[in-house]
Structure 1
Amino acid sequence: ATSLQEKKEYNQQELEDEVRESVKDVNEIVDQVKEGLSFQIHEDTEELMIQVIDINTDEVIKELPPEEMLDLKARIHEMVGILIDEKV
């Protein structure tokens, strides 16, 4: 898998800010909820997803990044690929 920095989607400062914000969010959630964490790889984008899960109900309380955003990213990449294939 290629990192965001290698893809040049973020510059170094943006990448550091994103990581710091994500870590802060996770720590706040864990402190409040005191529930389970799940680390998963999103199938289509092969990016890490962290989920905070209510152990009693198996409900996903928070996702970082949200799965919907990763799904959207995968669809955009697929559409760009189709456009490129059609032009070639």
Structure 2
Amino acid sequence: MVDRIGESAAPAIAKPIGTKEVKEVEVEQKPVTEPAKQSTPLKEEELQKFADQVNTFLQPSQTHVQFEYHEDLQEYYAVIVDNNSEEIIKEIPSKKILDMYAAMTEFMGLFVDKKA
């Protein structure tokens, strides 16, 4: 079969639509020599200094930050409070999430203790 003068039409190999050609890539494996560093919790003095710095930044927005202590988890979380109404605007992370996390860890502790 001839499409144009002097050219023959060779059957084309159809490539499925939406497929990509996959190339092999060599990935270099690096040995793990140093364990990941865990963040150390801030001391109360450092936390207060940080809160003062953030509060200076937040002054124009008429808000301030407080750090609350979660008894069950024994960790601090941030609370952003309106200066005028003393209403909590935002909790970071949410106290409800922290309560749920504490309940799950307590449940898992009970589950593991009973299993063993």
TM above 0.5, one fold? yes
Task: Give 1 or 2: higher helix fraction.
Answer: 1
Q: More relative contact order in 1 or in 2 (CA 8 Å, sep 6+)?
A: 1
The separation in 1 between residues aligned to 2:103 and 2:60, in whole angstroms, is 34
One-letter code aligned to 1:73: Y
Kindly report which structure 2 residues correspond to 1:51-70, keeping only aligned pairs within 5 A, or say none.
Answer: 51-70=79-98
The separation in 2 between residues aligned to 1:46 and 1:33, in whole angstroms, is 30
The separation in 1 between residues aligned to 2:60 and 2:94, in whole angstroms, is 19
One of 100, 106, 110 as aligned partner of 1:72? 100
Name stretches of at least 5 consecutive residues in structure 1 with no aligned partner: 7-25
Deviation at 1:33, TM superposition (A): 3.1
Identity of aligned residues (%): 34
One of 98, 101, 109 as aligned partner of 1:81? 109
3-state SS, counterpart of residue 36 of structure 1: strand
Larger-gyration structure (1/2): 2
Q: What is aligned with 1:46? A: 74
Which of 54-63 and 71-80 deviates more? 54-63
The separation in 2 between residues aligned to 1:84 and 1:32, in whole angstroms, is 50
The separation in 2 between residues aligned to 1:33 and 1:79, in whole angstroms, is 41
2:62–2:83: 8 Å Cα contact kept in structure 1?
Answer: no
TM-score, normalising length: structure 2: 0.47
Deviation at 1:51, TM superposition (A): 0.6
Name stretches of at least 5 consecutive residues in structure 2 with no aligned partner: 1-37, 40-53
Cα-Cα RMSD: 2.3
